[in-house]
Amino acid sequence: MEPLIPEENKALSDLATDLVAKSNALAGRLHPVIQQGIGDLVRSMNCYYSNLIEGHHTHPVDIDRALAGDYSAEPEKRNLQLEARAHIDVQRKIDLELAPSPSTSKEFVLWVHKEFCQQLPPELLIVKDPKSGKEENVVPGELRQIHVKVGHHIAPAPEDLAPLLERFASAYGNEKLPKIQRIIGVAASHHRLLWIHPFADGNGRVARLFSHAFLKELGIGSSLWSVSRGLARAVDKYKAALQAADEPRRGDLDGRGNLTQAGLVEFCTFFLTSCVDQVAFMESLFEPAELQRRMEIWCEEEMRADRLPKGSWPLLREALLAGEFSRGKAPELTGYQERQARTVLNSLIEKGFLVSPTSRSTVRLGFPLAVVDRWFPRLYTGPAVAA
C-alpha cells in the first residue's frame, strides 16, 4: 500500500494551509452555544450526503422523524431511517470525544464499524457475492473473512488485513510529522482505508466517519462542516479518483512504492479541494450579517402570515447574537408586558425556533427542518427538504 503519504508537493501543502486558515475563520463565525445546535443539523446533513454516496436517498424529513423515534411502516424506508440514525449516533459520539483514540488506530476503525452496524436491522447485515449468489453475514466490528473485488480493485486477502491496519496506524498516526503533512495524510488515509477494505460491508461509511474524526483530531474538522457533502456533490469524480489511486505504479517516475503516487496525489488534491470548498461554503452561510438578514426576512413573512406572533424577531435576534438569554429578559426584548412576552416566547419554543430544556432554563436558537432552506440555503441540494 506504499506510498502512504505523497512526497513533498507544494500544491498539496498550499491546499492544506488554506484548509487550516479557512477552518480557523469558520470557528469564529458563531457563538459557541449556537455551534452546538448547528452541530446537530450538520450531523443530519452529513448523514444525508453519506447516504447519497451509497446510493440511498433518505429524505431529510425521514431522517428528522427517525431521530424522534418515528419510523415508517414501509420496511425499506424504515431500514434507511435506522441506517441514518446509526450514522448520526456514531458521529455524535465522535464529536463528543466518546470514541477510542487516536482515530488512526485499528481500535477506532473497528469501533466505528461496530457502533454503526450493531444498530442496523439483520437484513442490512448481509452481503451477496454477485457471481455465486452466496450470502455472507456482516459481523459488526470484525474484519472480513472473505475475499472481495471492488470494481477493478482486488482487495487484500483476509489474513493481511490486521497487519495492513497496523501499518496504516503507524504511518498516519505519526505525531512527529509536520501538521501540514498530517493534513495531507487525512486525504491519503481516506483512500488507503478504502483500499484495505477491512469489512465485508460498510467500508465507505467507516472511511468517511474516520476522515471526519481525523480532521477533528487535528483541529481542522468540526461539527460545523461536512466532508461528505463535498464528496457527494462530485460523487462521480470521487469514485473515479479513488479508482485511479488504486492503480499500480506507472513507471520509474511514479514514486517508489507499489501503488501509483501520481494517482494518490490526484486523489489528495480532489479530497482537500472538496474540504476547502465545504468550509468556505459553510463560512458564507454563517456570515453574521447575512444570516441575520435571512432570518429577519423569514420572520417578517411568518408574522405577516400570522404563523408567528408579533414580537418574535427581537427574541430570535437575541438568541442569534448572544447565544442564549434568560426567560426573564423576554419583556425587555419585546417591549411587551410580562404575560404577553411570555406568550410570544412560549410560541417560539413550541415551534422549535427557540430551545429550552426546562421551563426555567435559558433559551437558545433552534434549527427545525422547516427553516433550514430559508436560514441556510443550499445546505441540501435539490428538493431535499420539500415536504
Domain boundary among 285, 309, 338: 285
Q: How far apart are CA 21 and CA 164, in angstroms?
A: 33
Q: Is 79 annotated as a binding residue?
A: no
Cα–Cα separations (whole angstroms), residue 1 to 130, 188, 209, 212, 374: 26, 11, 21, 22, 46
**CA-closest candidate to residue 315, choices 328, 305, 304, 377:** 328
Domain co-membership, 279 together with 300: no
Domain co-membership, 254 together with 317: no
Please answer whether residues 247 and 152 qualify as being in contact, where contact means their C-beta atoms are separated by less than 8 angstroms: no
Domain co-membership, 77 together with 138: yes
Domain co-membership, 185 together with 83: yes
Residue 31 is placed in which grid cell?
457563538
Domain co-membership, 105 together with 180: yes
**CA-closest candidate to residue 48, choices 60, 36, 38:** 60
Domain co-membership, 349 together with 275: no
Look up residue 303 and give its amino acid: M
Q: Residue 181 has what pLDDT?
A: 96
Known catalytic residues? 197
How is 143-154 classified by DSSP, letter by letter? ---S--EETTEE
Q: How far apart are CA 359 and CA 69, in angstroms?
A: 23
Q: Is 112 annotated as a binding residue?
A: no
Helix (H, G, I), strand (E, B) or coil at 98: coil
**Is residue 253 domain-resident?**
yes
Q: Is 206 annotated as a binding residue?
A: yes
Q: Is 205 annotated as a binding residue?
A: yes
Q: Residue 134 has what pLDDT?
A: 82
Q: How far apart are CA 303 and CA 300, in angstroms?
A: 5
Q: Is 230 annotated as a binding residue?
A: no
CATH number at residue 100: 1.10.3290.10
Domain co-membership, 196 together with 254: yes
Reported pTM = 0.92
**Is residue 23 domain-resident?**
no
CATH number at residue 355: 1.10.10.10
**Is residue 19 domain-resident?**
no
What domain count does the chain have? 2
Long-range contacts of 16-21 (CB under 8 A, 24+ apart): 16/180, 16/183, 16/184, 16/272, 17/180, 18/276, 19/183, 19/220, 19/272, 19/275, 19/276, 19/279, 20/179, 20/180, 20/183, 20/220
Domain co-membership, 118 together with 78: yes
Q: Is 24 annotated as a binding residue?
A: no
**Is residue 11 domain-resident?**
no
Domain co-membership, 168 together with 311: no
Reading the chain (387 residues) residue by residue, the pLDDT tens digits are 999 999 889 999 999 999 999 999 898 888 888 888 888 889 999 999 998 999 888 889 999 999 999 999 999 999 999 999 999 999 999 999 999 999 999 999 999 999 999 999 999 999 887 777 788 889 999 999 999 988 889 999 999 999 999 999 999 999 999 999 999 999 999 999 999 999 999 999 999 999 999 999 999 988 899 899 999 999 999 999 999 999 988 877 777 778 999 999 999 999 999 999 999 999 999 998 999 999 999 999 999 999 999 999 999 999 999 999 999 999 999 999 999 999 999 999 999 999 998 888 999 999 999 999 999 998 886 433 333
Domain boundary among 265, 285, 305: 285
Q: Residue 384 has what pLDDT?
A: 38
Q: Is 78 annotated as a binding residue?
A: no
Q: Is 151 annotated as a binding residue?
A: yes
Domain co-membership, 151 together with 188: yes
Domain co-membership, 131 together with 61: yes
Q: Is 39 annotated as a binding residue?
A: no
For residue 306, give its domain range.
288-375
43: left (phi over 0), alpha (psi -120 to 50) or beta: alpha
Domain boundary among 259, 285, 311: 285
**Is residue 22 domain-resident?**
no
**Is residue 250 domain-resident?**
yes
Domain co-membership, 128 together with 206: yes
Does 102 sit behind a cis peptide bond, omega within 30 degrees of 0 on the bond before it? yes
**CA-closest candidate to residue 233, choices 273, 205, 177, 267:** 273
**Is residue 182 domain-resident?**
yes
Q: How far apart are CA 164 and CA 106, in angstroms?
A: 10
Helix (H, G, I), strand (E, B) or coil at 318: helix
**Is residue 336 domain-resident?**
yes
Q: Is 202 annotated as a binding residue?
A: yes
